[in-house]
Structure 1
Amino acid sequence: MMPFMASAVNLALPAIQREFSLSAAMVNGIVSIYLLSAAVALVPSGRLADLYGRKLLFTAGVVLFSTSSLVLGFSNGIVWLLAGRVAQGLGGGMMMATGLAIISSVFPAGERGRAIGFNVAAVYVGLAVGPYAGGLLTEALGWRSIFLCNFPLGVLTVVLLVLKVPGEWADGGKGRFDGLGAVLYAFSLVSFMAGLSLLPALSGLLLVLFGAGGFVLFTCHELRAPFPLFEVRLFRDNRVFAFSSLAALINYGSTFAVSFLLSLYLQHVRGLGPGTAGAVLLWQPVVMALLSPVAGRLSDRAQPRLIASLGMGMSSLGLLLLTFLGRDGAILYVILCLVCLGIGFALFSSPNMNAIMGSVAPHHYGIASGAVGAMRLIGQMCSMAIALVVFALVLGSHGEQGGNHPALPQALTICFGIFSILCGVGIVFSLARGNLRREWQPAKENHEH
């Protein structure tokens, strides 16, 4: 539901803008407020899931996500739209923080990678189907239908959870929830991510620094807290977890903006229509969906760091090839680069998640799952920030629009070059994580605390 919604709603934005006479900034707010809300919910939801039950938090997330989708479908103004997107983001964050933790609780170490691979494949199927389904629904039934169709899917999911997923998983013992830590985390993250979206403006830089300072305070508080919201010592004492998380941050930071950049290239430089450009860009998520289960299974048999590092190498190669695209690059060449990126991301994503979840004790599954989601969202925001800064520097006052600016191919080449180098640096961190110590025993039966 989440990936489908994230990609489908982009097709509804023009219709929403027309109906409510919204400014471009307000339309951007409909998207960004969802991402911010999801990011804020990730780590606290992971901790709550460890304390009180992962299925409970996941089910609550589905209910909130589905109910807010219903509200969005019947909203009659921008206030209801924004409120619904906040609630939808919080529900989505709860699902993101607990889904991976449940998979890790159910499947033993020797089967976890394959299960994570299928989970990742489902994400990319949603991302691939979303734009086409969103466009068809908006054209045939209106933009509200995109939100309304999520409600029956949510009801079906809750029914399946109740009937087909017995028991509960909670390994947090008798600890307490760190409310102050949650406030510090949310305040720091919102400041940091909002600042990234405003770069290279001075206000954006100040917010980024403010958010970074907030994270320092958050870390100091967590080190002293008797029951921390997030066990920051994992980054100090768990090499596999620390370097795998950093590799994820770098990987998302160097790949997320590629679809945005290639969309500009295909439409403004090569003159393709939106539908044709979308069909070209579809190659990457399709390859990722097909190969993610295979990569996950491979990470059950070989060390995840080797497979994930190979994946980052493929992504770096794909990005390097894109730097030679030029103004008259063949569409077949673009597809080749996208296939290379799809293979790279598939080889990286599932094995890296398997390494993160396999490196922590069961009572930290929720926290680790939340950390994976946080690295993903922060990396995505950093990726877009890098692209926007390059556009501002190369295209000047036309940086925000891009469009038919004669220097657009140069800006794209610089972005792809920076991202390729970042991916290369990420390979070093991916290899530096060391080998994962596996525990080859069956997963414990569902249990309650």
Structure 2
Amino acid sequence: MASTNTHNQKSFLVPITIIGLMFFAIGFALGINSYLIPLLNSALEISSTESYLVLAATFSAFLLFGYPASLVIGKIGYKNTMALSFLMFAVGFYLFIPSANNESLALFLVASFISGMGNTFLQASVNPYITILGPIESAAKRMSIMGIANKLAWPIAPLFLALVIGKEVDMVQLTDINLPFMIIIGVFLLLGLLALLAPLPEVKAAGEDDENGEDCPYAASKTSVWQFPHLLLGVLALFLYVGVETISLGTLVDYATTLGLANAEYYAWIAPIGMVIGYICGALLIPKYISQDKALRICAYLALFGSVMTVVVPEQYSIYFIAFMALGCSLMWPALWPLAMTELGKFTKAGSSLMVIAIVGGALIPTAFASLKDVFGAQNAYMICIPCFLFILYYGIKGHKIRT
């Protein structure tokens, strides 16, 4: 798959910068959950499983709206879909205010679900867009650059909330979140306007409009998106990856609180630092020095090491090994997308919608983690990551090569 856009690399600079802002917005919106989880846990006096439902609500939107998002992109284009997503975000964030005023977990879940809808439509737009915006062989390089913007935003969200509120998490009242959310709503509406007015060219993958299969002979013989085993295995790998990445990014404040560490929100930086190191390596090394599939294998080994060590070392040190899990996760997203989307031709948009639906792993796997935490303790709950990383390793070794 290659871009039909014939502009040189310089012409990509403005679109890549704007899309980088979009990836930052995705990370910021998801990072809000890492602040809300311990806040709801203490303010509403609910269990870990119940407080982690805000993550489940956010990510469940991907399951329901992943495919409709691809249909909307087909109708109105990538750019207009990006603008629409920010309007959805603003509605979701506004609903957090009455949720706090009424101390209602149910309303928080509705607000999280609607912001998750915004995230679904934005991810469905920006991920295939940045994959197509240039040669497929260097897609992981572009995704790595996007990943830096995305993952730096995760810890900035709880830090922003903490700075505006000006209190320790365990001292915060639910209504204290009203002011920061009003600011966030304003910023996201401005980003929506930027998306609408930005000079973003509409792009298509090679063979996307080619019914005769001249540009992509492999896809020409297929009648359904379900006939691409490398895509379907990639969807499962992405499902597992999003789940374990969300655990590594979204549980740090909660885990630090559980361990009784002071200024728990500062521990939110552990995972993003590991991820940014990985993304920098990806931007520098792919594809010149290492291939996308080799990067995936190396990262799977690193993540396995981090998840095993998080479980077995003394708990006061275990939180720091989550950085290795995160480092391993760093190049999984940039590698999985182009490996799974290769040679889809006219099924590119359908394949992309399946990949977006797979993001629901961020709802199910962290919820299972929270249940394990309630029963076996926080440290032991990280065991759930090990089988997930083992499957991702299999995909990097063999799964992405399977063709029929």
**What range describes the TM-score normalised by the shorter chain of this pair?**
0.7 to 0.9
Q: Any unmatched runs of 5+ in structure 1? A: 176-230, 392-397, 400-406, 438-449
Match of 1:69 among 71, 93, 103: 93
Pair 1:113-2:80 in alignment = no
- Cα deviation, residue 387, structure 1: 5.4
CA root-mean-square deviation: 3.8
Give the TM-score normalised by structure 1: 0.66
- The 3-state SS of whatever aligns with 1:271 is coil
Number of equivalent positions: 355
Residue equivalent to 2:344: 360
Match of 1:322 among 287, 302, 310: 310
Match of 2:275 among 288, 291, 294: 288
- The percentage of aligned residue pairs carrying the same residue is 12
Residue equivalent to 1:49: 73
- Aligned pair in 2 of structure 1 residues 359, 121: CA closer, same or farther (>3 Å)? farther
Q: Aligned letter for 1:428? A: Y
- Once residues 165 and 244 of structure 2 are traced to their aligned partners in structure 1, the CA distance between those partners, rounded to angstroms, is 32
- Cα deviation, residue 256, structure 1: 3.7
Is the Cα contact below 8 Å between 1:50 and 1:364 reproduced in 2? no
- Aligned pair in 2 of structure 1 residues 120, 368: CA closer, same or farther (>3 Å)? farther
Pair 1:374-2:357 in alignment = yes
Match of 1:165 among 192, 199, 202: 199
- The 3-state SS of whatever aligns with 1:300 is coil
- Cα deviation, residue 318, structure 1: 1.1
- The 3-state SS of whatever aligns with 1:149 is helix
Is the Cα contact below 8 Å between 1:284 and 1:339 reproduced in 2? yes
- Aligned pair in 2 of structure 1 residues 314, 16: CA closer, same or farther (>3 Å)? closer
Residue equivalent to 1:220: none
- Aligned pair in 2 of structure 1 residues 35, 264: CA closer, same or farther (>3 Å)? closer
- Once residues 109 and 130 of structure 2 are traced to their aligned partners in structure 1, the CA distance between those partners, rounded to angstroms, is 32
The aligned runs of 1:24-423 (5 Å cut-off) are: 30-70=54-94, 72-73=96-97, 77=102, 78=104, 83-139=110-166, 142-169=176-203, 233-239=224-230, 241-258=231-248, 266-268=256-258, 270-273=259-262, 275=263, 277-296=264-283, 298-301=285-288, 302-327=290-315, 329=316, 331=317, 334-335=319-320, 337-361=321-345, 363-378=346-361, 380-386=363-369, 388=371, 390-391=372-373, 399=375, 408=377, 412-413=379-380, 415-423=381-389
- Cα deviation, residue 311, structure 1: 0.5
- Cα deviation, residue 344, structure 1: 1.0
Is the Cα contact below 8 Å between 1:124 and 1:285 reproduced in 2? yes
- Once residues 282 and 253 of structure 1 are traced to their aligned partners in structure 2, the CA distance between those partners, rounded to angstroms, is 19
- Once residues 11 and 86 of structure 1 are traced to their aligned partners in structure 2, the CA distance between those partners, rounded to angstroms, is 16
Is the Cα contact below 8 Å between 2:340 and 2:400 reproduced in 1? no
- Aligned pair in 2 of structure 1 residues 137, 436: CA closer, same or farther (>3 Å)? farther
Residue equivalent to 2:398: 432
Q: Aligned letter for 2:302? A: M
- Aligned pair in 2 of structure 1 residues 247, 299: CA closer, same or farther (>3 Å)? farther
C-alpha offsets along residues 158-189 of structure 1, whole Å, 9 cap, x if unaligned? Answer: 3322333244357877x9xxxxxxxxxxxxxx
C-alpha offsets along residues 322-358 of structure 1, whole Å, 9 cap, x if unaligned? Answer: 232135x5x3x642x2332232111322122232334
- Aligned pair in 2 of structure 1 residues 300, 264: CA closer, same or farther (>3 Å)? same
C-alpha offsets along residues 133-153 of structure 1, whole Å, 9 cap, x if unaligned? Answer: 112223379301232223332
- The 3-state SS of whatever aligns with 1:168 is coil
- Once residues 10 and 420 of structure 1 are traced to their aligned partners in structure 2, the CA distance between those partners, rounded to angstroms, is 22
- Aligned pair in 2 of structure 1 residues 82, 316: CA closer, same or farther (>3 Å)? closer
Is the Cα contact below 8 Å between 1:316 and 1:420 reproduced in 2? yes
- Aligned pair in 2 of structure 1 residues 383, 89: CA closer, same or farther (>3 Å)? closer
- Once residues 417 and 29 of structure 1 are traced to their aligned partners in structure 2, the CA distance between those partners, rounded to angstroms, is 20
Residue equivalent to 2:10: none
Is the Cα contact below 8 Å between 1:104 and 1:365 reproduced in 2? no
- Cα deviation, residue 67, structure 1: 3.9
